[in-house]
Structure 1
Amino acid sequence: MPDEPIREGRRMIHGPPATLYREVNMSSHHPFDASRRGALKCLAFGGLGTVFVLSGGILTPVELALAADQKSSAATAGVPLFLQISDSHIGFNKEANPDVAGTLKQTIEYVNAMPVKPALTIHTGDITHLSKPAEFDLAAQLMSGLKITELHTVPGEHDVTDGPGTEYFSRFGKASDNKGYYSFDHQGVHFVGLVNVMHFKPNGLGGLGDEQLEWLENDLKGRSSSTPIVVFAHMPMWTIYEPWGWGTGDAGQAMSYLKRFGSVTVLNGHIHQIVSKVEGNITFHTARSTAYPQPTAGNGTGPGPLTVAGDQLPKMLGVTSVRIARHPLKATLDDTTLV
């Protein structure tokens, strides 16, 4: 296998044949409103979030825009288990999206319009942009409009800019005893929230730390290997692009505890785009932001808000569904444009 990835259209394959890494490029050939207002409307529609469906013991992520469309019921067949939202960045007001509160509100409206709503919501971090009390207050006000009352969160690095994350933990720390990492069970699925934004590695990669890794090992002990596991953390739990810090330096140790389970889904945010990978029984999936896009790995001088001309933004939007079969393990990703 060569050092550089082999590109097959929109598919990128790294490492051994058992590892599938897919970077999704999205395009639209439909008419669009080229104004900034129209572009932001498209951004909200394409970056809403992901609803996860449990059907026959299989977790299937479906783009929220499809789930909210009653005409697309075939795409969401099964029991809606939970919804993932990420990177709302409340407080950001630059050109890439001067109204992040508006796009989060639109996200919530789509969720509330779903014909069958999931029982819980997971937010995978960067709820705010600068960890300011007013930003958390506005985010809480907006998310209180969700008709899904059970909310679980993990912090992103933008939620803990003060170091200890005082504002974040004062609002969201109860479930984890102010540690940030915790677990719970829902409909036969074991959920594990991890924090990888408090112990950064020298190269900018996220870190879990020894204490949290020991806790994870103990949390998983004694659980049946047939239990579906969902892990959620802010930064990717595998190295997507090390020069930009897109990964978690000690994630390998965590994966060693998880590999014995027959179905593991790892959900992250941080990079503001969909990238998926299947390795053994573990499926990795990063979510789009509700705030703004970022460049794809290695394109440009570094990560950050990507300002896109109104006539280009719709070309970056689309929907992705993932079907995961367990026997034998196979991941199928279907990419379609929005309209």
Structure 2
Amino acid sequence: MSSQMDRLTFIKALGIGGAVFATGLPGFAETLGSPAQAKASDFYFVQLTDTHWGFEGAKANPDATGTLPKAIDAVNALDPQPDFVIFTGDLTHITTDPAQRRKRMAEFKAQAARLRAPQIRYLPGEHDAGDDHSEAFREAFGPSRYAFTHKGIHFIALDNVSQEGSILGEEQLRWFAAELDRVPKEAPLVIFTHRPLFDLYPDWDWTTTDGAKALDLMKAHRFVTVFYGHIHQEHHHTTGHIQHHAATSLIFPLPAPGSVPKRAPVPWDPEHPYRGLGFRQIHAQPKHVKEDQLALSEKALADSLKTAGTHA
């Protein structure tokens, strides 16, 4: 059995719950047992994405205004709480009305404020960017790109939706290069985006036009993981040594890339409500010096609701 499978089996044996995916990144956890086993530097964070607050469409989600609150309740029920929660774009559903866009963002922000986690971070999606290039987003949530370090892990959030053409842009790429220069080449590096940086399926706009330039800038860094949204489904991919993980949506799933002629929401299944919706936990142990596996625990919203005894 490979070391990858050994670690996956070990993680599942701990009874974390949800699907688990392990990806190579030193300093991240493979031992995810009880909180009593954790060191002071150990932590985890939660990724939520594509909530599309303001969406209407009973065929895709008859509980469009209830799904986000239920997801927030599920995250609030986690014990211990994550060190931070990040929303990786499309917080709100697109509208051409500037007043309506700001109204939706205010309503979304009020929902997110219920989260118990000590830090909440946000990225725009193209629905948030609208036709004002994320001006309303920045008014409500702050910068659309930023960098931070948390307990020894370096994080960089990129904005690949605010400029026309699904690009990062030369100015942002220069900023990104400067931020990367601050990070030691052997240090673990985590990138957040909304769109995939690689060409997943350009015909469905599942790409970043100049994403290859960002990937090229990261080649010198040995341990890089990218978390993104946009495609409304779990997806795992590697470009060279860089690993990419898409998370499930919190409004409706989309079909696998290229599996159908036209991209459209997967219809709501009344026999299996909330199927394909969920969020992700990422567990870290920054003080480990050996090559552990970054542990992703996928949380299906339907399972969380069953555990909590919550119904639509």
Q: TM-score, normalised by structure 2?
A: 0.74
1:251 and 1:167 map into 2 onto residues whose CA distance is: 25
Residue aligning to 1:189: 153
Matched, 1:169 2:138: yes
Residue aligning to 2:214: 254
Report the residue type matching 1:103 in the other structure: T
Deviations along 1:10-38, one digit per CA (max 9) or x if unpaired, are xxxxxxxxxxxxxxxxxxxxxxxxxxxxx
Q: How many residues align?
A: 272
Residue aligning to 1:85: 48
1:117 and 1:54 map into 2 onto residues whose CA distance is: 24
**Displacement, 1:154?**
1.2
1:156 and 1:104 map into 2 onto residues whose CA distance is: 16
Residue aligning to 1:227: 187
**Displacement, 1:166?**
2.5
Report the residue type matching 2:111 in the other structure: L
Residue aligning to 2:250: 290
**Displacement, 1:165?**
2.3
**Displacement, 1:302?**
2.5
The answer for unaligned runs of 5 or more in structure 2 is 1-17, 96-100, 307-312
TM-align CA RMSD: 3.8
Structure 2 SS opposite 1:216? helix
Q: TM-score, normalised by structure 1?
A: 0.69
Matched, 1:266 2:226: yes
Matched, 1:147 2:111: no
1:239 and 1:212 map into 2 onto residues whose CA distance is: 19
**Displacement, 1:290?**
0.9
Residue aligning to 1:111: 75
The answer for unaligned runs of 5 or more in structure 1 is 1-45, 61-66
**Displacement, 1:254?**
0.8
Report the residue type matching 2:28 in the other structure: I
Q: Which moved more, 1:255-264 or 1:299-308?
A: 299-308
**Displacement, 1:305?**
2.4
1:290 and 1:322 map into 2 onto residues whose CA distance is: 17
Q: How does 1:1-339 map to 2 (within 5 A)?
A: 57-58=27-28, 79-95=42-58, 96-130=60-94, 132-173=101-142, 176=143, 180-201=144-165, 206-311=166-271, 316=276
Report the residue type matching 1:87 in the other structure: D
Report the residue type matching 2:55 in the other structure: F
Report the residue type matching 1:94 in the other structure: G
Structure 2 SS opposite 1:101? coil
**Displacement, 1:84?**
0.6
Where in structure 1 do 4 or more consecutive aligned residues deviate above 4 Å? 49-56, 312-339
2:20–2:297 Cα contact (<8 Å) kept: no
1:185 and 1:323 map into 2 onto residues whose CA distance is: 15
**Displacement, 1:245?**
1.1
